[in-house]
Amino acid sequence: MSTHQLSKEMLTLEDDLPFLHRDISWLSFNYRVLQEAKDPTVPLFERIKFLAIYSSNLDEFFRVRMANHRNLLRVGKKTKRELEISPKETVKEIQQIVNEQQIEFNRIFQDEIIPELKNNKIFILRRLELNPEQLTFIEEYFQEFMLPYVQPVLLVKNKIRPFLNNAALYLAVVLQDKFGKPGTEFAIVKIPSDHLPRFIELPAAPDRKDLIMLDDIVRHNLTYMFPGYDIVNSYSVKLTRDAELYIDDEFSGDLIQKIKSSLAKRHVGPASRFVYDREMPADLLAFLMEAFDLEKYDILEEGRYHNNFDFFKFPDFGLSHLKNPPLPPIAYPAIEDNPSLFKALSEGDHLIHVPYHSYESVIRFFEEAARDPQVTHIKIIQYRVAKKSRIMDALMQAVKAGKQVSVFVEVKARFDEEANLLWGEKLEKAGVNVHYSLPGIKVHSKVALVRRVESSGFKMYAFFSTGNFNEDTSKIYSDFGLFTADHRLINEAVRLFGFLETGKQPQENFQHLLVGKFNLRDQLLHLIEFEIAEAKAGRTGHIVLKMNSLQDQEMIRKLCEASQAGVNVQLIIRGICCLIPGIPGVSENIKAISIVDRYLEHARVFIFYHGGKNLVYLSSADWMVRNLSHRIETAFPIYHEPHKKEIIDIIHLQWSDNVKARSIDGSLENPYHKEGMDVNIRSQLETYYYLKRKAEAF
């Protein structure tokens, strides 16, 4: 990424405001993931995991974003959403960057990871390196486990053209007839990594671990599949298909049925990327392009192996010293040690920060609500649900206990549509009142409510979060959550659920919550305007924003305006950052960093100095057009001063990070953020011990 020179079009929105194309910025983020894979201070198995994350990210990018660009290229259109840049220019730029990254990926794996594995007595062998016992093993393994899945097919021009499954691995095989038929023939063989482990352990001496990749077992056994041919060579290929559902009209008809119908077509969509071994000869590539109806902009060269997200399942052999040292989740004693959760919540707000804090307090919120005979109602918004969810189980148990349970299920959560539909059906069968997606918008808020009858009448409790109600992701996604009985927030959460359940506009405006499609964008602009006015009056103007992505043009213009007025703007952006900081006269008072470490930075935090009041909001919303204009998002204020301080302290630790933070600028070089500090500060570790000290002092 650091050697790539971007075209002018990718860097400019208008002459007065440099603006980085969102997909180029995303590729820069994914390169930061790749940086972790080549960082020698990262434990070996974690480096391998980052190779998998990089590959998984890139695969989704091509299925969604690149598929869109290629569709535009096919119809020959430009789009104002992408700043009047031609699709051809965009595709070309992306391919060049990805190709450079793929070369570096292969270098990291071959020159750094493989030698380190060998240093630890772990060997990934190719078939020509196997001893007789191992050769016998892979031949028997092929016959016993693989033969039903490999699906060998001879390719005949204009006649035999097999369907390539999305993201499945294949070998393109060059054959020579044994009986003297002139010329070469081509075939396709499936590598069954969707049925079998990608890494197979081989018989080996006691002091070492030998592995072979499934691909190479197939390579070795090609002669069994084509008995009348000599095998000249074989080259790995993979086709990625467009994953967009393309639900054209969400305002009419049965949306759920449309989604179900579209899901059935997702895996047979048009090509969005065809990757192939860069050693493949030109005649074979040309044949495959014609056979599978591929254009030049559909193809991308890689190394010998594809689907490197399979590194997620790389065997660890119990070698814990090659992994990150464990950080056991910290109990939140104010809730977990209290015999009554609702008594604890009635006494004041509680702020948790997962995965540093245990997620048990959130699970307990729902499980205790399900059991408590005084609880009458439970409401929740579900965006992405864990495969095995104690929260969902608690909701179904609550119905059995006679409580009224209402769940809003967003079925347009990309790649979780099918899982969410299944959960919705399961909840409905259990008697839960399930509401599904709203027409034209996506619901991304993370809010839950509980209504309880108490001696003074009924009382309501809420949980607001920056992340999903998901027990799985809570172990690796860094998010904030607020338990509260504050009537100011409760009343507005009730109003939000009323809108989601009925579709009717709230009769009163939101005064405390910032809610997408209502007041979120306007209030954020108003808060920035206040800082601008303060700076122009000679007072302190200061904004700190933490989010996953910053892409919305209007918000970027306003932040640049704030910079020009003298407001100090600090940005902590994990992923897309279309704003280019540090440009004299434009964004010189804006600095931006990105942190990639063992946990996925997922929390959104907005801090405005506001004349010394330090207004702090936590949110589900990134500053992208889709979030601010086409989604129901929620930003919730933090009113409890100790919680404000805790959030500001943690954000300060992140800004001080000089180990895992990278500086974001127009060069896309992702240099590590140093800021002249002598002591190493790794913010995720510092945050863990900061919260651990607080828990122990409770």
DSSP structure class, residue 268: T
* Active-site option among 69, 444, 602, 643: 444
Give the integer Cα–Cα distance in Å for 337 and 231: 67
Tally of CB atoms within 10 A around 508? 8
Residue 633 near residue 515 (C-beta atoms within 8 A): yes
Q: How many CA atoms lie within 13 A of 189 on its CB side?
A: 29
- E strand segments, 205-254: 209-213, 229-241
Please provide the size of the chain in residues: 698
For residue 617, the SS3 value is strand
DSSP structure class, residue 217: H
For residue 462, the SS3 value is strand
Which of 496, 489, 444, 427 lies closest to 463, judged by CA?
489
Residue 341 near residue 335 (C-beta atoms within 8 A): yes
Q: Which amino acid is at 129?
A: E
Give the integer Cα–Cα distance in Å for 185 and 219: 17
Q: Any idea which residue has 């992701």 for tokens?
A: 473
Clarify whether 306 is annotated catalytic: no
Q: Any idea which residue has 């990718």 for tokens?
A: 10
Residue 552 near residue 625 (C-beta atoms within 8 A): yes
Q: Where are the alpha helices (DSSP H) in 282-332?
A: 282-291
For residue 523, the SS3 value is helix
Give the integer Cα–Cα distance in Å for 541 and 27: 32
The catalytic site residues sit at 444
